[in-house]
Structure 1
Amino acid sequence: MKLVIDNLSKTYENGVKALQNVSLEIPKGMFGLLGPNGAGKSTLMRTIATLQEADSGAVTLGDLNVQTDKNAIRQLLGYLPQQFGVYPKMSAEVLLHHFGVLKGITKKNERKEMVDYLLHKTNLYAVRKQNLGGFSGGMKQRFGIAQALLNNPKLLIVDEPTAGLDPKERNRFYNLLSEISENTIVIFSTHIVDDIKELCNNMAIINRGEVILKGNPLKLIDQLNGKIYQKAIQRSDLDAYKKQYTVINDKLFLGKPIIHVLSDVPLNEGFTPIEAGLEDVYFSQINH
C-alpha cells in the first residue's frame, strides 16, 4: 500500500495559494516533509487527513480515495496535528480509553490491552493516573502519539511533532516513530532539518505551496558535495558577500558570522571546502 498525491491544489478565500500542483508518491516507511512555516505543510496534512478538501487533484491510499472514501480512510489513519487539545482534568489512561471507544474499539479487554501497550510504548504508564493538565510538553506529545496509534493505523501523520521537546524527549520520539514506520506509512512534517536527517529515507521540500525538491536525503546531499564552502566574516561584510557569492546560509559561531556558499568552481580568499549537509540542501532550495 502507498499514498499517492496527484496534482493537489488549494487556494484560500484570501487568495493565498496554499498548495500548487503537489504530486508525491509515499511508500511504507518514514517520509519527511520539510519546509518553513507557512509553506503549505499543514494544509497538505489536513487534506490527507480528510479534514479539508482541495480545489483540484486527488489523494489515494491504496484503492481508497481520500475525498470520496473519508470514513474508510479514517479507519486506517492516525493523526497527530501541530496543535491538539486534551481534557486537563482527565487522566491519560481514562482519555485513551475514551478515544479507543470513539475509534471503534468497543471490547473492554481488547481496549485495555491496547491502552496499556501504548502507555508502556510511549513511556507514560507510570503516570497513567495523572491528569493531563499536569503533563509537560513532551509528555503531551507522547500522549498525542499514543492516541494516534490506538487503531493500529496504516497511515500515520505527525505535524511538527518535536517542536518544543528537549533533546532527550526528541530522541525518544525518534526511536518510537522509527519503530512504527517499519510497518506503516509515516509522514513526518517539520521545519526542523535534523528531524528529517535522523529519521527519513525519503523526503520532499515544500515552499510557498510547491514541492521544489524530493528524493533520498543522502543522495540529495551527495549532489552538493564539493560545492559548499565556508568562511568566517565580519558582520558588516555580510551584504557584500551576498552580492558577490551564492550565500545559502549564514549563522553565528562563537558570536562571529559564518557563511556557507554554493559554488560550482573552487573558491579561494579564505574559503574552506566543507562536506555538505542536509541543512545546505534545504537552504540552497529555500533561499535560492
Structure 2
Amino acid sequence: MRLIIDNLSKTYANGVKALQNISLEIPVGMYGLLGPNGAGKSTLMRTIATLQDADQGSIKLGDIDVLVQKNELRQVLGYLPQQFGLYPKISAEVLLNHFAVLKGISNKGERKEVVKALLHKTNLYEVRHQNLKGYSGGMKQRFGIAQALLNNPKLLIVDEPTAGLDPVERNRFYNVLSELGEHTVVILSTHIVDDVKELCTNMAIINQGQVCLQGNPLQILEKLKGKVYRKTIEKSELNLYKQNYQVISEKLFLGKPTIHILSDKNPSNGFSLINAELEDVYFSEIFNTTNTKAN
C-alpha cells in the first residue's frame, strides 16, 4: 500500500499558488512533511483528505483514485486536522461512541469493544468519564487520534499535531504515532523539525508550494556533511554576517547570536565545523527556496 501523488497543483482565486507540481511517493510508515507556516502543507493535507479539489494532478492510495473515488477514500481515511472542535460537556467515552456510530459501527457490542480499545491505546481510559473541557491540550490531541482510528484506517493524516504541547505530552503523542506507523501510511505534517527527527523514516520539505527535498533523513543529512559552520557573534554584527555568508539559522546563546552558515569550504574567521542536524537541512532548503523565488 502506497500513497502516490503526481504533479498536483492548486491555485486559489486570489492568485496564491498553494501547490505547484507536487509529486511524492509515500509508503507504509511514518512520513514527515516539513515546511514553514504557509508553505502549502495544510492545502496538500486537505486535498488528500478530499476536503478540497486540486486544479491538476492525481492522488492514488493503492487502487483508489483519491480525487475521483472520494467516498472510497473516506472509508479508509483517518484525519486529525490542525484545528478540530470538541463538545466540552460530553465525556470522552460518550463522544467517541457517538463518532463510532457515525463511522458505521452499528453493533453495540462491537462498538463498545472498539471504543474501549482506542481509549486504552491513547492512554485515556482512566479519564474516559471526564468531560472534555477538563482535558489538557495533549489529551485532546490523543482523543483526536482515537476518533481518527475508529475505522481502522489505511491512511492517517495528522496536521501540526504537537504544536503547543509540553514535552511529556509530546512524547506520549510520539509513542502513539510510532505504533500506528508500523502498519499504516501515516503523514505527519509539521513545522517542528524534532517531530520528524524523532518519528519518521522518510520525509519531504515543502516551501512556497513546492517540494524542495525528499528522502530518508539520515541520507539527507549526508548532503550537508562538512558544509555547516557555527560561530557566536555580537548582535551588532548579525546583518554584516548575513551579507557576507549564507546564514541558514540563528539562535541566542547567553544573550548573543550563534549563527550557522552553509559553505563548501572552510570560511575560517573563527567559524567551527559542526555535524549537520536535520534542522540545518530544513533551514538551508527554506533559505535556498525563498532566495531563489526572490531573485
* TM-score, normalised via structure 1 length: 0.99
Q: What SS class does the counterpart of residue 46 from structure 1 fall into?
A: helix
d(CA) in 1 for partners of 2:116 and 2:256? 51
d(CA) in 1 for partners of 2:111 and 2:268? 65
Which residue is 1:211 aligned to?
211
List aligned pairs for 1:91-170, cutoff 5 A. 91-170=91-170
TM-fit CA distance, 1:68: 1.2
d(CA) in 2 for partners of 1:133 and 1:16? 37
Which residue is 1:191 aligned to?
191
Letter in 2 for 1:83: Q
Misfit runs of 4+, over 3 Å: none
Which residue is 2:255 aligned to?
255
Letter in 1 for 2:245: Y
Question: What are the ranges of 5 or more consecutive residues in structure 1 without an aligned counterpart?
Answer: none
Which residue is 1:44 aligned to?
44
TM-fit CA distance, 1:176: 0.9
TM-fit CA distance, 1:202: 0.5
TM-fit CA distance, 1:136: 1.3
Letter in 1 for 2:97: H
d(CA) in 2 for partners of 1:176 and 1:106? 26
TM-fit CA distance, 1:223: 1.4
Which residue is 1:87 aligned to?
87
Identity %: 73
Letter in 2 for 1:169: E
User: Is 1:27 the counterpart of 2:38 in the alignment?
Assistant: no
Residue-by-residue CA offset, 1:211-236 (whole Å, 9 max, x unaligned)? 11111111111110111100000011
TM-fit CA distance, 1:238: 0.7
d(CA) in 2 for partners of 1:134 and 1:172? 18
Q: What SS class does the counterpart of residue 150 from structure 2 fall into?
A: coil
Which residue is 1:5 aligned to?
5
TM-fit CA distance, 1:129: 0.7
Residue-by-residue CA offset, 1:42-67 (whole Å, 9 max, x unaligned)? 00000000111101111110111111
d(CA) in 2 for partners of 1:139 and 1:249? 33
Residue-by-residue CA offset, 1:154-190 (whole Å, 9 max, x unaligned)? 0000000000110011011111100100000000000
d(CA) in 2 for partners of 1:110 and 1:253? 55
TM-fit CA distance, 1:267: 2.3
Letter in 2 for 1:242: K
Which residue is 1:63 aligned to?
63
Q: What SS class does the counterpart of residue 276 from structure 2 fall into?
A: coil
Give yes or no for contact 2:138–2:173 (8 Å, CA) kept in 1.
no
User: Is 1:228 the counterpart of 2:225 in the alignment?
Assistant: no
TM-fit CA distance, 1:23: 0.4
Question: What are the ranges of 5 or more consecutive residues in structure 2 without an aligned counterpart?
Answer: 289-295
d(CA) in 2 for partners of 1:166 and 1:89? 24
TM-fit CA distance, 1:139: 0.9
Give yes or no for contact 2:3–2:26 (8 Å, CA) kept in 1.
yes
d(CA) in 1 for partners of 2:63 and 2:4? 10
List aligned pairs for 1:264-279, cutoff 5 A. 264-279=264-279
d(CA) in 2 for partners of 1:16 and 1:134? 39
Q: What SS class does the counterpart of residue 89 from structure 1 fall into?
A: coil
Q: What SS class does the counterpart of residue 197 from structure 2 fall into?
A: helix
Which residue is 1:77 aligned to?
77
d(CA) in 1 for partners of 2:20 and 2:269? 42
d(CA) in 2 for partners of 1:178 and 1:51? 26
d(CA) in 2 for partners of 1:254 and 1:278? 23
Q: What SS class does the counterpart of residue 59 from structure 2 fall into?
A: strand
Which residue is 2:176 aligned to?
176
Which residue is 1:244 aligned to?
244
TM-fit CA distance, 1:141: 0.4
Letter in 2 for 1:106: S
Total equivalences in the alignment: 288
